[in-house]
Amino acid sequence: MLSKISATSLFLSCISFQIISASEAKAQSLNTSKLKICVVNVQTAILQTNEGKAAKSKIEKDAEKDRQDILAKQNQLKKMEEDFQSQQSILSDSDKIAKQKEFQIKLQDYQKSQMSFEQKTRSKELAATQEIYQKITSIVKETRKKEDCSMAFDSGAGVLLDADDVKDITGKIVEKYNAVYKTSENGSESKKENKKKG
């Protein structure tokens, strides 16, 4: 009976040793082939591309007239408030109510214009950003492979907190993007042909 138990124990010990050895071998294999990770700050890359800079400049230029109109309304409200404060001691109650009502109407118009301006500007920025983003993703994929990275993370999104082997390729993405997509003076872009030098 004792010998039977000893034989069983010996058999289980052999199985356990094989499992541990296999686990250690797998761990050693993983250690010898560490993952290389590329990180890209996509938002920074978009803003640093020539196309991104041109789009931002165009949006700001187009928004200048609306910005001046809003500023004029703001100054008008400020003057109305100053006039009311200086005249309220000589104004009748009905005049005060009329001026306060007029001020509220002007204030609501100003707030509506400000909100519309911000929404329109954000919409234009989002449209331009999405267009550039779609093209950047393909360049990230190509650059990641050239840099022998196993994967790429957007550092601007705060996805990756820590890793052993990390390479920031944001600058290379911007450089490659500008080489592939040529931006014209009016802010539009055209695909640049890659010609091999003979």
3 state SS for 79-90: HHHHHHHHHCCC
What radius of gyration do the chain's Cα atoms show?
Answer: 33
Give the chain's mean pLDDT: 79
What does the pLDDT look like over 22-65, one tens digit per residue?
A: 444 444 444 445 678 888 999 999 999 999 999 999 999 999 99
The DSSP code sequence of 6-74 is HHHHHHHHHHHHHHHHHHHHHHHHHHHS---EEEE-HHHHHHHSHHHHHHHHHHHHHHHHHHHHHHHHH
- pLDDT for position 158: 72
Summarize the confidence of residues 112-128 as an average pLDDT. 93
Please report, as a single letter, which amino acid is at residue 149.
C
Q: Give per-residue pLDDT as tens, 96-113.
A: 999 999 999 999 999 999
* pLDDT higher than 60, residue 14: no
Bridge partners (DSSP) of residue 167 are 38
Cβ neighbours for 142, distance < 8 A, ≥ 6 positions apart = 176
pTM, entire model: 0.63
The enclosing H or E element of 173 equals helix 170-180
